[in-house]
Amino acid sequence: MNAELVPIPHTWVLALSAVLFAIGTLGVMLRRNAIAIFLSLEVMLNSANLAFAAFAYRFAAAHVAAAAALDGQIFIFFVIAVAAAEATVGLALFIALYRLKETIDVDRFNILRW
Amino acid sequence: MLDALWLIPALCLAGACANLFLGTLRAPKAVVTVVGVGSVGAATAVAYAILWAYLQQPLAVVVKPYFTWISAGDITVNASLQLDPLSAVMTAFVTVVGLLIHVYSVGYMHSEGNAGFARYFAYLNLFMFAMLLLVLGSNLAVLFIGWEGVGLCSYLLIGYYYRQLWCAEAGMKAFVVNRIGDLGFLLAIFATLAAFGSLEFETVFPAAAADPASFGPEATVIALLLFVGAVGKSAQIPLYVWLPDAMAGPTPVSALIHAATMVTAGVYMVVRANVLFRLSPTAMLTVAVVGGVTALFAATIGLAQNDIKKVLAYSTVSQLGYMFLATGVGAWVAAIFHVVTHAFFKACLFLGSGSVIHACGGEQDMRRMGGLRKHMPTTYWTFLAAALSIAGIPIFAGFFSKDEILSRAYAAGASDLNGFGDAYRVLWTLALAAALLTAFYMFRVLFTTFHGSFRGPEEAAHHLHESPRSMTLPLVILGILSVVGGLVGLPGQLLHIEGLNLIDRFLQPVVIPLAEAGGHAADAAHAGHGLSLATEWGLVLGSVAAAVGGVLLARRFYLGAGAFVLPKLLAERLPLLHRVLLNRYWVDELYAWLIVRPVRALAGFCWRVVDELAIDTLLVNGAAFGVELAGDLARFTTTGNLRNYALMVLAAAVGIAALLW
């Protein structure tokens, strides 16, 4: 075996996923531009995908079960599909909002309060 | 024939329903009269046909079950009627007196409107139904329905002139006071069910009589609770206060319900349950003491009343006291005998007073009457006959029944009944004193009303007239009955003739002999036969002397040249006594202060504090206010700012994660 080919431990991948998730969350919280919030949301979804992939990789390496290894990978496709649907609806919403207020600054949309 | 027993009450009920209907149609009085008097007349005819058939066969208890009324677990209560000597006697006089008073009412109520006339007869017929159900019922439950029914009719008829507030209030007073007694009766029914598993007279009483030793404590409880009911209905101390106020109703109602029939229901019930009372010397003594004290107490109040109906009302309370004294000394038959004669002479007195009030244009105060003898001779003579009867002058009906009660009370004292001889001796003295007072106040009424000269206003004097035929006819019949009614109970033992006392012979089966006295002293049923002939005659002379003395005293006080001088002098010399009697011992005021006021205060507390403050304000409105306040505060979380919501979602997710950790 070649020393360069030592596999990356799955915990590293999980750590990356957590960092990406935190970055996405902060983006959702702090940005005011709706498109930026949307991008941050996509980062959060994909950090989840990364976690799925990490676990699939982990279970495959541990030879637990072939099905368990596949589950995580299949779930990623579900998430991608949901994210695509969400992008469609979200962007349509933003267009509608822009037509109403000529801006997509979310702080300007607070008419539904108390 | 006996199968038609249900027809007797049912006919009266049909009359009541028809009259209610006629009342809504404003039907003419002639139609209402035919229905109202006709239904009771038919019931009377059926009753006498049945009684005739009943007397043709050997004396027995005939029970007619019609349908199962209550069936729960192992408890079964039938709607059934019973004919036995006691209910036969009660039915016989209730129907006759009721019919006579219906006839009298036609004349007395003629000035009412069509609707009021029909309403009156509907209530009166309903009363007859309930009263006949009461005396014919074969178990305590049916008796109770009749008991409540007569109470309802009493309430409705006392408040007949409901547009006057004090009449409506008198009705309510009667209803509320009776409710206290009814609670006792209801508890007695439950206790009977618990002890005997049945309410049927023919099951409970023979069972108790067959085994006196084992039912002793139960019998005491049941008997005392029954007596609480009787005290309410029959207006004894301490629940008598409703009866004088009940005079707010039309006078025929006072005669029928509050003198002749309903108020004697308590006596009937005690006699009916005589087995239970005999098992309990305590209950017997209680009954005797309450009866004897009431007899004298009410008689003293009657001395100083000026309202003619009030005097008669207190006289009724006093006579009911006599009846309870009789039951308390074990003179069951004498009690029923006095119920019957009292129904005759007191109905006659009340109807006579109604005739007088009618003639005087509604005036009830005897101080504005007098000299009516010339104007209304029929009323005078019948009133005189009834007054002689209630006073206990020999030959008249009241003499025989009252004398029997007095002699039996004396015998109870002499034979040391149940070991309470001293108490019974005192009660006999009270009863004798009450007899003297009875004769006195009755003749006070007679002399001030019918003798002397008219003291009312000038114009009223011109209107004095004898009442119409429909009113005088019942008076005459009741007057005759007040004279001869005592012949059914002649005291045969005084003359050594067996079986002269018809009513005693007839009613004796009602007093079921106890199997074993079981530790109790001599069975009270035969205590009266222990006196010597000389003593008996001495007692007769004593009671006659009391009666004659009372009459002569009244004559000295209220008749002739010196009339009203002595009473005025006496009132001036003994102002305290006069005021005490005039104000009826302030019993109403005492009750108002002792019971009504605290109850009202409690009711006020429940209303103002518990209901309005605690429930309405704090709980109901408080809950609504709390929800509103919480909503008011919580709605500020809805900022409308997207990033706030995102923060909340994050916080919640972190919170849940921390919780699941």
DSSP secondary structure of B102-154:
HHHHHHHTTTS-HHHHHHHHHHHHHHHHHHHHHHHBSBHHHHHHHHHHHHHHH
CATH topology assigned to domain A9-105 = Helix Hairpins (1.10.287)
Please give, rounded to a whole number of angstroms, the shortest distance from the CA of A97 to a CA of chain B: 13
pTM higher than 0.95: no
Q: How many CA atoms lie within 13 A of B338 on its CB side?
A: 31
A6-39, pLDDT tens digit by residue? 778 889 999 999 999 999 999 999 998 999 999 9
Least confident of B24-33, B306-315, B462-471, B628-637: B462-471
Do B605 and B572 lie in a common domain?
no
Query: What pLDDT, on the 0 to 100 scale, is given for residue B438?
Result: 95
Q: Do B642 and A29 touch (CB under 8 A)?
A: no
Q: Which of B117, B185, B183, B127 is nearest to B151 (CA)?
A: B127
Measured distance CA(B352)–CA(B600) in Å, rounded: 40
Other CB atoms within a 10 A radius of the CB of residue B164 amount to: 12
**Contact list, A29 vs chain B (CB under 8 Å):** 643, 646-647, 650
Question: What are the backbone angles phi and psi of residue B490, rounded to the nearest 5°?
Answer: -65, 135
Asked, for residue B553, whether it belongs to a domain, the answer is yes
Alpha carbon B405 to chain centroid distance?
Answer: 19
Q: Are residues B347 and B262 in the same domain?
A: no
Q: Does residue B232 sit in the same domain as residue B348?
A: no
User: Is B440 inside any structural domain?
Assistant: yes
Given a contact cutoff of 8 angstroms between Cβ atoms, the answer to whether B279 and B208 are in contact is yes
Determine contact, residues A48/A17, Cβ cutoff 8 Å. yes
Question: Which tokens belong to B179?
Answer: 């409710």
* Pairwise pLDDT comparison (B532 vs B546), residue with the higher score: B546
Instruction: Give the whole-angstrom CA distance, residue B619 versus residue B14.
Output: 51
Q: Work out the widest C-alpha separation in chain A, in whole angstroms.
A: 66
Tokens of B169: 């209030």
User: What residues have CB less than 8 Å from B503, skipping those under 6 apart?
Assistant: B89, B333, B336, B337, B340, B488, B489
Distances in Å between the Cα of B79 and the Cα atoms of B144, B147, B194 are 12, 15, 20
Q: Using CA atoms, how far apart are residues A17 and B191, in angstroms rounded to an integer?
A: 83
Same domain, B333 and B275: no
What would the mean pLDDT of A66-83 be, rounded to a whole number? 86
What integer pLDDT is reported at residue B518 of this predicted model?
A: 47
Q: What is the ipTM of this complex?
A: 0.84
> Cα(B158)–Cα(B160) distance, rounded to whole angstroms?
5
Report how far residue B394's alpha carbon sits from residue B403's, in angstroms, rounded to the nearest whole number.
9
Instruction: Return the SS3 of B188.
Output: helix
B381-406: average pLDDT: 93
**Whether B636 and A114 lie within 8 Å, measured CB to CB:** yes
Q: How far is A43 from chain B (nearest CA, A)?
A: 15
Closest listed residue to residue A34, CA positions, set A93, A105, A107, A112: A105
B4 within a domain of the structure (yes/no): yes
Residue type for position B184: G
The answer on pLDDT for A58 being more than 90 is: no
The residues facing B77 across adjacent strands are B70
Q: Does residue B264 contact residue B320 with C-beta atoms inside 8 Å?
A: yes
Q: Are residues B321 and B349 in the same domain?
A: yes
Residue B504: name the closest of B333, B253, B303 by CA. Answer: B333
Tokens of B499: 């079986």
Q: What is the pLDDT of residue B346?
A: 95
Reported as a pLDDT band with limits 50, 70 and 90, residue B522 is: very low
Tokens of residue B5, six digits: 């027993």
Q: Are residues B357 and B417 in the same domain?
A: yes
Q: Give the model's confidence band at B464: pLDDT under 50 very low, under 70 low, under 90 confident, else very high.
A: confident
Count of domains for chain B: 3
**pLDDT tens, residue by residue, B470-496:** 899 999 999 999 999 888 888 877 777
Nearest to B650 among A25, A37, A109 (CB): A25
Instruction: Judge whether B633 is closer than 8 Å to chain A, CB to CB.
Output: no
pLDDT of residue B482: 93
- Return the pLDDT at B490: 83
In a domain, B125, yes or no: yes
- The answer to whether A112 contacts B638, with C-beta atoms less than 8 Å apart, is yes
Residue B66 pLDDT grade (very low, low, confident, very high; cuts 50, 70, 90): very high
The tens digit of pLDDT for each residue in B370-390 reads 888 888 999 999 999 999 999
Asked if B408 and B399 count as a contact pair (C-beta separation under 8 A), the reply is no
d(CA B157, CA B448): 29
Domain residue limits, chain A: 9-105
Confidence of residue B527 (pLDDT cuts 50, 70, 90): very low
Q: How far is B636 from chain A (nearest CA, A)?
A: 6
**Where does the pLDDT of residue B524 fall: very low under 50, low under 70, confident under 90, or very high at 90 and above?**
very low
**In chain B, whose CA is at the least distance from the CA of A111?**
B640
Within a domain: residue B93?
A: yes
Question: In the listed set B558, B579, B600, which residue is the last one of a domain according to the structure?
Answer: B579
Question: B104, B101, B89: which is closest to B48 by C-alpha?
Answer: B89
Residue B448 in any domain: the answer is yes
B136 and B19 housed in the same domain: yes
Average pLDDT over residues B137-164: 94
- DSSP 8-state assignment for residue B467: P
Which residue is closest to A112 within chain B, CA to CA?
B640
Chain B residue numbers with beta carbons less than 8 Å from the beta carbon of A25 are 650
- Write out chain B residues lying below 8 Å of A106, CB-based: 641-643
Neighbour-count burial of B4, counting CB atoms closer than 10 A to its CB (0-12 exposed, 13-18 middle, 19+ buried): middle
Mean pLDDT of B122-140: 95
Residues of chain B contacting residue A113, judged by C-beta atoms under 8 Å apart: 638-641
> Quick one: pLDDT at residue B212?
82
User: What value does the CA radius of gyration of chain A take, rounded to a whole number of Å?
Assistant: 19
Decide: B297 and B322 in contact? Cβ < 8 Å.
no
Q: Both B316 and B258 in a single domain?
A: no
HSE-up of B286 (CA within 13 Å, CB side)?
Answer: 18
* Residue B238: cis peptide before it, omega within 30 degrees of 0: yes
- Is pLDDT above 90 for B33? yes
Measured between CB atoms, which of B636, B639, B650 is closest to A110? Answer: B639
Nearest CA in chain B to A37: B643
Which residue among A28, A111, A114 places its CB closest to the CB of B646? A28
Same domain, B594 and B556: no
On whether residue B370 sits in a domain, the answer given is yes
The residue in chain A having the minimum alpha-carbon distance to the alpha carbon of residue B642 is A106
Amino acid at position B605, single letter: F
Q: Which of B44-53, B256-265, B632-641 is the least confident region?
A: B632-641
Closest residue in B to A34 (Cα) is B642
Residue at a domain's end among B554, B579, B604: B579
Q: Does B631 touch chain A (CB under 8 A)?
A: no
- pLDDT band of residue B328 (cuts 50, 70, 90) is very high
Instruction: Please check whether residue B210 lies inside any domain of the structure.
Output: no
C-alpha B62/C-alpha B360 separation (Å) is 49
Shared-domain flag, residues B119 and B174: yes
Q: Is the alpha carbon torsion for B512, B513, B519, B520 positive or negative?
A: positive
Q: Which residue(s) pair with B137 in the sheet?
A: B81
Q: B336 and B242, same structural domain? A: no
Check residue B418 and give left, alpha or beta (phi > 0: left; psi -120 to 50: alpha): left
Pick B640's closest partner by Cβ from A25, A30, A113.
Answer: A113
- Asked whether the predicted pLDDT for residue B594 surpasses 50, the reply is yes
Q: Which domain holds residue B97?
A: 1-178+226-279
**Across B14-37, average pLDDT:** 93
